[in-house]
Amino acid sequence: MEIRHLRTFLAVARRLNFTRAAEDLHLAQSSVSAQIRELEADLEVRLFDRLGRQVLLTEAGRRLVEYARRMQAMAEELRSEVGRGEEARGSLCARVPATLAQVYVPEVVARFHAALPGVRLEFIHCDDARLRQELGAGRIDLAFLLTENVAMDGVNVRYLRSEPLVLAAAPGHELANRPAVAPADLEGRTVLRPRTD
């Protein structure tokens, strides 16, 4: 089993499309298909079901995703720790709520890559239900949450800042021109709010 095969497998698993995975990896589609066949032969299991143009992960494929991510992360860490050169290398995986990501991630990425160009950043949507497990297993390195209190044993938690909460309403809505809106003002109204995950 080769790390490059796992990298290719993860690209296909993410896209569920061999052509798009090949484009992401800058490979010919035939190379992607060949690598997946070699990996399936090595593991003696089918990783994808191909139903016409649709590609689906098999149960074995779903199980392999987490192992492949961890192995790829370990390979990058090994290159970073043992490889030549003093420049920081590897990857950093963070869970971020979509509402925060839209506002802050572009600037964070620009500043991060200016300081550490050899480190790959990966942002994924936040899911606090499995956060402690994912941090403990090394699947993610850090997470940003929209919440007041977080208590997790064995996890370093740091308060960064308060975010203002605003109400967006149609111009003609009766709450639109108020200088402040209290929770009681929202009683009985339909409100779309971000999840605090």
Give residue-wise pLDDT tens across range 98-135: 777 778 888 888 888 888 888 888 887 766 667 777 77
Is 10 part of a structural domain of the chain?
yes
pLDDT at 197: 43
pLDDT tens for 129-156 read: 677 777 766 777 888 887 777 777 767 7
Decide if 139 is inside a domain.
no
Q: What range defines the domain where residue 27 resides?
A: 1-84
Structural domain contains residue 23: yes
Identify the residue whose tokens are 């850090």: 142
What value does the mean pLDDT take over residues 167-178? 87
Give the total residue count for the chain.
197
pTM confidence score: 0.47
Q: Where are the alpha helices (DSSP H) in 59-190?
A: 59-82, 98-115, 131-137
The C-alpha atoms of residue 193 and residue 60 are separated, in whole angstroms, by 37
In a domain, 41, yes or no: yes
Average pLDDT over residues 35-45: 92
Which CATH number is 66's domain given?
Answer: 1.10.10.10
Q: Domain total for the chain?
A: 1
Mean pLDDT of 59-71: 90
Asked whether residue 8 is domain-assigned, the answer is yes
Rounded Cα distance between 140 and 138, Å, is: 5
Residue 153 lies in a domain: no
Is residue 136 in some structural domain?
Answer: no
